[in-house]
Amino acid sequence: MKKVCFVFGTRPEAIKMAPVILHFREMGTFEVKVCVTGQHREMLNQVLDVFGITPDINLDLMQPDQSLSKLTGRAIEKLDQVFREDKPDLVLVQGDTTTVFCAALSAFYNNIPIGHIEAGLRTGNLKSPWPEEANRILTTRIADLHFAPTVAARQNLIKEGICKNQVFETGNTVVDALLRAENILKEKPVKIEDLPDFLQPESNSQIKMVLVTSHRRESYGGGFERICKSIRNLAENHSDVHFVFPVHLNPNVQEPVNRILGNNANNIHLITPQPYLHFVGLMLRSYIILTDSGGIQEEAPSFGKPVLVMRDTTERPEAINAGSSILVGTNIDKIVSTAHELLTNTTAYNRMANVANPYGDGKASIRVHDACKSFLGC
């Protein structure tokens, strides 16, 4: 039986890898190995617990105040050892993290084929997002199988000279994960600590809730200041709307958020980062979402939630083009005016909320499996 090794290290990777791992195991075509680098320790474990996945190998690479250079060096060394000892027939990576690039490079050095899930995303700016855009491009150059989530991603790869026979348009596995999570929530609802009952996922309250997330490096400093001031402005002018902000633990996020938004209004709720299921529950409960997250741009359309993307560029233009998301950057006037329009104009809101998700139909895992089966001659 051919051996496929899944390598990932962060919570977003785990979310998008989980349905693929589960489908591979359900099909029984391959021997499946799961190797995690531990870029996000606790957050990673929370996701794996939700989907019932136990890693076969945990490299536990993260150290306090570790630079990207140190992480990269340690990751390549440890993954090289894993591949030499375990000898997989195929390595699958997902997305654009440091783990992705290091795993792909280590597999390449060991002459092991590489499959890249969520391939072909591009902003066209090597430094935005940083270092993710570089990780994507570098991984593309050495991968053997490219699983593009959308038509645009597939076209990006072909324009860059990747052979058409190596590119597979699959949809995004995040939709597969989201549908599994929604089914779990139907059976076992969750409760969010530090939120009143009328904002809980199971609440039938008609009070509008805006979900906010922000954590990207390129927004550190002035960008976060403007994001926080925008939320404060909206909260002051929409006292009947509640703003829920799970605040990332990074000090570069914590400091401006707590300084500008802490104890500022009764309708701003700063809460701790949420486990995956709890966050899915918050998305379901929300009216609109303000975010700089890539994954949320892909997930929210499945629930009919308009998204304001608080970034200057996005490698996920499909939602912008479809009309389910609007790129607002970190410009205070743009964030405030666009959010105000959606909160007060039902026609504008419905126009975005009723757009079908351009990122997939929940069957991406099946397509990835079948392409790998053909590639390995199983």
Q: Give per-residue pLDDT as tens, 223-261.
A: 889 999 999 999 999 999 999 999 988 788 888 889 999
In this prediction, residue 217 carries a pLDDT of: 65
Strands 288-291 and 209-213: parallel
Q: Give per-residue pLDDT as tens, 305-346.
A: 999 999 988 888 999 999 999 999 999 999 999 999 999 999
- For the question of residue 85 being annotated catalytic, the response is no
Which residue shows structure tokens 């139907």?
186
Q: Domains in the chain and their CATH numbers?
A: 3-171+363-375 (3.40.50.2000), 190-353 (3.40.50.2000)
Give the Cα separation of 66 and 172 in Å (integer): 31
Q: Is the pLDDT of residue 264 over 70?
A: no
Residue 299's Cβ-count burial label (10 Å; 0-12, 13-18, 19+) is: buried
89, 118, 176, 315: the active-site residue: 118
- For the question of residue 118 being annotated catalytic, the response is yes
- For the question of residue 40 being annotated catalytic, the response is no
- For the question of residue 193 being annotated catalytic, the response is no
CB 293 within 8 A of CB 299: no
Confidence of residue 42 (pLDDT cuts 50, 70, 90): confident
248, 340, 351, 370: the active-site residue: 248
- For the question of residue 238 being annotated catalytic, the response is no
96, 176, 312, 318: the active-site residue: 96
Give the Cα separation of 376 and 123 in Å (integer): 32
84, 141, 217, 259: the active-site residue: 217
116, 146, 215, 285: the active-site residue: 215
13, 132, 299, 312: the active-site residue: 132
Q: Is the pLDDT of residue 276 over 80?
A: yes
Instruction: Measure CA 40 to chain center.
Output: 13
**E-strand stretches of the chain:** 3-8, 31-36, 57-58, 90-94, 114-117, 145-148, 167-169, 209-213, 242-246, 268-271, 288-291, 307-309, 325-327
Q: Is the pLDDT of residue 8 over 80?
A: yes
One-letter amino acid at 250 equals N
- For the question of residue 96 being annotated catalytic, the response is yes
